[in-house]
Structure formats: C-alpha cells, structure tokens
Structure 1
C-alpha cells in the first residue's frame, strides 16, 4: 500500500505542477530543493515527511488531500466538511 501512495502523490504532483505551468526546476527552487528531488517524488521514489507534503501543497495552492489522494478542490481546506465523532453516531 505504501508504494501505491507514493505513486498517487507523484502523479498528483506532476499533474498539478504542469497545470500551473511550472517546471520541475521552478517548483524545486521555490521550496528549496533540487530538481532531481521533484523528479524522484513524481516517480514515486521518495518517502516524504508530512512537512514536505504540506510545503508542496501550499506552494501549489492545493490542500494536502489533493496531493495524497489525487482528489479535492484546488486550495480547499482539508478540514472543512469533516464530520465529528458526535455527528457520525
């Protein structure tokens, strides 16, 4: 399951980056990483920390959920619309 998540995140990152008209180098430079790092993430070869996922999402103007799941509204607040335990009961 872990590798599947890496590939989903990588595919989402590539799609969103290209939609924004950014090169791997431009995205990498904007977050302080090397272009090869972004390429490795897009190929599903890197295991990212939550901080890095959040940093990428913020830079691209999307919620972390869109990167991890490949879904969501661009810029949507991932906590918005979440049900509390009391509401599920």
Structure 2
C-alpha cells in the first residue's frame, strides 16, 4: 500500500513543479482543466486518485505529453 501512496505523492509533486514552471496558479490551472481548485490541491498533495481522462487533461493543459507528465521517478 505504501508504494501506491508514494506514486500519488510523486505525481502530485510533478504536477506542482510543472505548474509552477509554467507560471500557473492552482486556481488558473484548475479552471483550465475544468477541476475545482481544491481537487487540484488534493492532486498536488498526493491525496487524489486521478482517472486517465483527468491525467490527460492535466497534460493537455500543460501542453506536454502523457509520457512527460508521468516521468515521476
């Protein structure tokens, strides 16, 4: 179970770092992804399990490939 939580935390940090690199606020990127800001905050804290569709929306909004987004090693 710890590994599952770990991937959520690493993915959340990846989203947060990419968001900041591109100059998005949580509110702005959440709006662009059609998410609530609190949902995006949960993603960044590793508290949310995203659907594949939502992962794709994040990648599209950040204008990166799914492969780039998932590079959470």
TM-score > 0.5, shorter chain as reference: yes
Match of 1:32 among 26, 31, 34: 34
Q: Whose RCO is larger (CA < 8 A, sep 6+)? A: 2
TM-score w.r.t. the length of structure 2 is: 0.88
Q: Would you identify which runs of 4 or more consecutive aligned residues in structure 1 move more than 3 Å?
A: none
Which sections of structure 1, spanning at least 5 residues, go unmatched?
Answer: 72-89
Is 1:4 paired with 2:28?
Answer: no
One of 8, 13, 17 as aligned partner of 2:19: 17
The Cα RMSD (Å) is 1.3
Aligned equivalents of 1:33, 1:49: Cα separation in 2: 12
Matches of 1:10 and 1:3, distance apart in 2: 11
User: Structure 1 length as normaliser, TM-score?
Assistant: 0.73
Unaligned stretches of 5+ in structure 2? none
Aligned residues: 71
